[in-house]
Amino acid sequence: MESVRQPTLAKKTRTDPMKLDGTKAEGEAAAMPADGVRGSNQSGVRAHNERLVLSLVRQFGPLAKAEIARRTGLSAQTVSVIMRALEKEGLLEKGEPVRGKVGQPSVPMGLAQGGAYFLGLKVGRRSLDLILTDFHGHVEGRVHLSHRYPTPESVVTFANTAIAQLLDQLTPENRKKVSGLGIATPFRLWDWARPLGLTSSEMEAWRERDIAAEIADTWEFPVYLRNDGSAACGAELVFGDQNKPRDFLYFFVGFFVGGGLVIDNTVFTGRSGNAAALASIPIGIKGAKVRQLVDVASIHTLEQLVIGEGGDSRLIWDNPTEWNLPGDVLSTWVEKAAEGLAYATLSASCLIDFECVVIDGWLPDSVRTSLVDHTRRRLNEIRVAGIEVPDLREGSIGRDARALGAASLPLSDKFLVDRNAFLKA
């Protein structure tokens, strides 16, 4: 279910060789290596130093020049030059002076309101969402469309129409500040046709169509692509609660459960882009049939329970903030989903010794809290020798995680450095 493609540029240069099926595309260059971990006073790397300053300010809030110099190892003069340039470009703005016990007051610099904008497209099995966001991850505009299932044609049409609609809400000057579009989409959609009530042939078009390239044909900004689970994980890393360990596992409960893996403050996507394919984790065997996490911890499973009770599944999809469902279907689903998440967590912990597991999803807050509580309780009940049980936490983004994670791709590519660059600085 995973892919990473970085940007499909207008008139078209791709810099990461992944397709929608996780295979490598011929003739495409490999992604550029990550930036270094410290600032440099040499003139040839000013772009990196600017990214370093923007990353610090985005991570920690407004900072004075002296504090930035201390954190980066850059000279005070170099920091002054960088911050003046970023202020002139409209990316930083002065805050209120802070008076100390002695000397002149310091003036913290923060990210400028409206300094840059980013688009994020979520391709879901039941809906499409396009958002416009700023440096802080604040959603400035949204277009939503419900559907029975996604096709490449409908996604491209929706994206181009919705992009035009959101750009029309900006002034001509602010339209120039839109830095790119990220797309968060499930991978190998043809493998998951049956739960949608479809034949595999009805999803076959996804094998050949390149929606990122098709959308990029219409617009001048770069277009990026990533699997929806890893994109949601990226949103938690970039925009979420920052008081997390450097390594954590992330579950996102959507139509199908998915997720991502963060190692050393970086979303790890693996050789083919399919790392952390959490939906496929086996959680039990009954006869010859292997039960996977997707079978118990997906909203699709809840949808089938509602229908089985004679209810309307639109009760789930029409109101993401509150679910008024018939009978005890919700509590039944939470119990089974929590058990599956507990077993998946323990299985993953046998391979990677993460300190923390984050659970989020397209869920009302109360349901997410209940799911985390039940998973924690089940984790404590299951006895597994030889491993430490990780801490369990609620995600801090919620239903917009996939779209925000998509929007974080152009943000990270154009303005930020690897988080380790300033955490080690």
**Residue 423, in any domain of the structure:** no
d(C-alpha 228, C-alpha 349), whole Å: 22
> pLDDT band at residue 418, thresholds of 50, 70 and 90?
confident
The answer to whether residues 294 and 340 belong to one domain is: yes
Cα 180 off chain centre by: 15
Of 72, 90, 111, at which residue does a domain stop?
Answer: 111
Q: Which residue has the higher pLDDT, 27 or 420?
A: 420
The answer to whether residues 165 and 253 belong to one domain is: no
Rg (CA), the chain: 22
Model confidence at 210: pLDDT above 60: yes
Residues whose CB falls within 8 Å of the CB of residue 358, separated by 6 or more in sequence, listed in order: 236, 244, 248, 249, 250, 251, 393, 394, 395
**Residue 421, in any domain of the structure:** no
Of 82, 111, 140, at which residue does a domain stop?
Answer: 111
The answer to whether residues 226 and 326 belong to one domain is: no
Residue 292, pLDDT score: 93
> pLDDT band at residue 338, thresholds of 50, 70 and 90?
very high
Least confidently predicted of 55-69, 95-109, 145-159, 290-304: 95-109
Query: What does residue 90 show for φ and ψ, rounded to 5 degrees?
Result: 85, 15
Which range marks the domain in which residue 50 is found? 43-99+106-111
Render pLDDT for 18-64 as a digit per residue (tens, 0 to 9).
445 444 443 323 332 222 234 444 444 448 899 999 999 998 899 99
The answer to whether residues 50 and 29 belong to one domain is: no
The answer to whether residues 73 and 214 belong to one domain is: no
Of 85, 111, 137, at which residue does a domain stop?
Answer: 111
Residue 419, pLDDT score: 61
**Residue 23, in any domain of the structure:** yes
Model confidence at 167: pLDDT above 60: yes
Residue 36, pLDDT score: 29
d(C-alpha 232, C-alpha 398), whole Å: 9
CATH number reported for the structural domain that contains residue 92 in this entry: 1.10.10.10
Render pLDDT for 90-103 as a digit per residue (tens, 0 to 9).
999 998 888 765 66
Residue 286, H or E segment: strand 282-286
CB distance 156 to 196 below 8 Å: no
Least confidently predicted of 203-217, 283-297, 390-404: 283-297
C-alpha distances (whole Å) from 299 to each of 65, 70, 199, 219, 404 are 48, 48, 20, 34, 20
Give percent of the chain with pLDDT exceeding 70: 86
The answer to whether residues 125 and 16 belong to one domain is: yes
d(C-alpha 347, C-alpha 365), whole Å: 26
The answer to whether residues 191 and 298 belong to one domain is: no
Cα 42 off chain centre by: 34
Mean pLDDT confidence for 61-72: 93
Q: How many structural domains does the chain have? A: 3
Render pLDDT for 358-414 as a digit per residue (tens, 0 to 9).
999 999 999 999 999 999 999 999 988 899 999 999 999 999 999 999 999 999 999
**Residue 422, in any domain of the structure:** no
The answer to whether residues 306 and 271 belong to one domain is: yes
CATH number reported for the structural domain that contains residue 124 in this entry: 3.30.420.40
**Residue 38, in any domain of the structure:** no
The answer to whether residues 326 and 381 belong to one domain is: yes
Residue 17, pLDDT score: 35
Q: Which residue has the higher pLDDT, 287 or 349?
A: 349
DSSP state for residue 192 in the 8-state scheme: G
Render pLDDT for 169-189 as a digit per residue (tens, 0 to 9).
999 999 999 999 999 999 888
Residues whose CB falls within 8 Å of the CB of residue 34, separated by 6 or more in sequence, listed in order: 417, 418
**Residue 424, in any domain of the structure:** no
The answer to whether residues 340 and 300 belong to one domain is: yes
The pair of structure tokens assigned to 163 is 């992009």
Mean pLDDT confidence for 225-248: 92
**Residue 218, in any domain of the structure:** yes
Beta strands, E only, 84-215? 92-94, 109-111, 117-123, 127-134, 139-146, 178-185
**Residue 295, in any domain of the structure:** yes
The answer to whether residues 332 and 282 belong to one domain is: yes
Mean pLDDT, the chain, rounded, equals 85
The answer to whether residues 142 and 226 belong to one domain is: yes
